Structure 1
Amino acid sequence: MSIVDSIAKRRTYYQLDKDLPVAEQEVVALVEKITELVPDAFNMKSARAVVVTGSRQDALWDAIYDAFGGKVAREKIDGFRAAYGTILYLYDTDVVKGLQERFPLYAANFPVWAQQANGMLQFSIWSGLRDLGVGANLQHYNPVIDEMVREMFDLPASWQLVAQMPFGGIVAEPDAKEKEDIRQRVRVIR
């Protein structure tokens, strides 16, 4: 399969269940390998991923609901809770700060570059999951849940939460993507 085919298959799947079509270890191995392979500026290796499954998956989404004091729909949270697991995406601010100190001319760029690398990691894992037949979606309940997640999973204080990716068995396919005139977003200049 080409990378374009892989990217084309990646979609936002909201209707997920705990019926993972592959062994959990295959998902973990994918996350580990892609985390190792995704590039970042100055080879800083700031991206972090935490794979949450089992009863901790359910507890995570119950705690996210509680963190919002009922201000998010329970049905929406229960949709994420119904997934097999969640990948938490973070970056290590200590790594970023260390590079800012070593390379002061680029200091303002390191947080941006860390976010870019994290985005590449998220997208690559998302596409890889789909190649395994696993559905996923990407959520952003941070910064409201940052401290709760750090405490719940005993994560270092320097790990900054960026996104949450529920993943699992695909219950229903999303609607077809609408075609667009890509020339509105891509220009070729000769």
Structure 2
Amino acid sequence: MKSEFNQLAAQRRSIYALGKNVTATPEEIYELVTTAVRNSPSAFNSQTVRAVVLFNQASDQVWDIVEETLAKIVTDPAAFEKTKQKIASFRAGIGTVLYLTDTSSVHKLEEQFPAYAANFAPWAEQAIGGSQQAVWTALAEQGIGASLQHYNPLIDDAIHHAFDLPAEWQLRAEMPFGSIEAPAGNKDYLDEQQVFKFIK
């Protein structure tokens, strides 16, 4: 069975060689991101995902914060030099999406539906994962590369302060994006028998 969706899903890869050679405007990319997030599912239609789409100096500031934070933690100079190079590759893109969970919405659901209270936090994680997948694939469809990074919670306070984010928005991931300056490497897959069962 032919599937355009699966072709796009295969096109979505972790791109680390990012550049600024993107013809789409920030406004067009913002609309692409917000539409993908809005159309992603969430348990009870709770819509707990929040996304902050940053461009230019604001995007660079995210990676400045990451570098400054890790400089206090990574004490080995050789290791920190590798870290700086990695961060520079994210800064080389044109923008960054911050993915956050609105914890106040999660807590309200826990109170409203106590029988399911233990599930709402994991369900919020599922919702944010679905949104990340949708945005990442939508960017790939436009020929824009991205990767998903997790420097939270180390950078949480500085990010909230820098961009005046609500305290109840919990940072979950950072997605730098830009032009694809070098393709992703080969992707290995586990043996099908380890992953799937076909019962007819």
- Whether these two folds match at TM > 0.5 is yes
* SS at structure 2 position matched to 1:160: strand
* SS at structure 2 position matched to 1:21: coil
Q: Is this contact kept in 2: 1:21–1:134, CA < 8 A?
A: no
| 1:158 and 2:168 are equivalent in the alignment | yes
Could you tell me how far apart the structure 2 residues matched to 1:179 and 1:67 are? Answer: 34
Give the AA of the match of 1:125.
V
TM-score by length of 2: 0.91
How far off its partner does 1:189 sit?
Answer: 2.6
CA displacement, residues 40-95 of structure 1 (integer Å, 9 cap, x when unaligned): 10110100000011111112111111012252411111111111110000010000
Work out which of the residue numbers 4, 7, 25 in structure 1 matches 2:6: 4
Q: Hey, what does 1:77 align to over in structure 2? A: 87
| 1:16 and 2:12 are equivalent in the alignment | no
Could you tell me how far apart the structure 2 residues matched to 1:112 and 1:179 are? Answer: 26
Q: Pairwise CA RMSD of aligned residues?
A: 1.3
Q: Hey, what does 2:132 align to over in structure 1? A: 122
Q: Where in structure 1 are there 5+ consecutive unaligned residues?
A: none
Identity %: 42
Q: Is this contact kept in 2: 1:137–1:166, CA < 8 A?
A: yes
- As a proportion of its length, which structure holds more helix? 2
Work out which of the residue numbers 60, 63, 83 in structure 1 matches 2:62: 60
* SS at structure 1 position matched to 2:97: strand
CA displacement, residues 93-122 of structure 1 (integer Å, 9 cap, x when unaligned): 000000000000100100000000000000
Q: Is this contact kept in 2: 1:21–1:169, CA < 8 A?
A: no
TM-score by length of 1: 0.96
Could you tell me how far apart the structure 1 residues matched to 2:23 and 2:187 are? Answer: 24
Work out which of the residue numbers 109, 116, 141 in structure 2 matches 1:131: 141
Give the AA of the match of 2:60.
D
**Which aligned runs of 4 or more in structure 1 are off by greater than 6 angstroms?**
none
Q: Aligned ranges for residues 93-132 of structure 1 at < 5 Å?
A: 93-132=103-142
Could you tell me how far apart the structure 2 residues matched to 1:124 and 1:183 are? Answer: 27
Work out which of the residue numbers 135, 138, 144 in structure 1 matches 2:154: 144
Could you tell me how far apart the structure 1 residues matched to 2:24 and 2:122 are? Answer: 35
| 1:33 and 2:43 are equivalent in the alignment | no
Q: Aligned ranges for residues 45-56 of structure 1 at < 5 Å?
A: 45-56=47-58
CA displacement, residues 17-46 of structure 1 (integer Å, 9 cap, x when unaligned): 122232222211111111111011011010
More displaced stretch, 149-158 vs 173-182: 173-182
Q: Where in structure 2 are there 5+ consecutive unaligned residues?
A: 75-79
* SS at structure 1 position matched to 2:139: helix
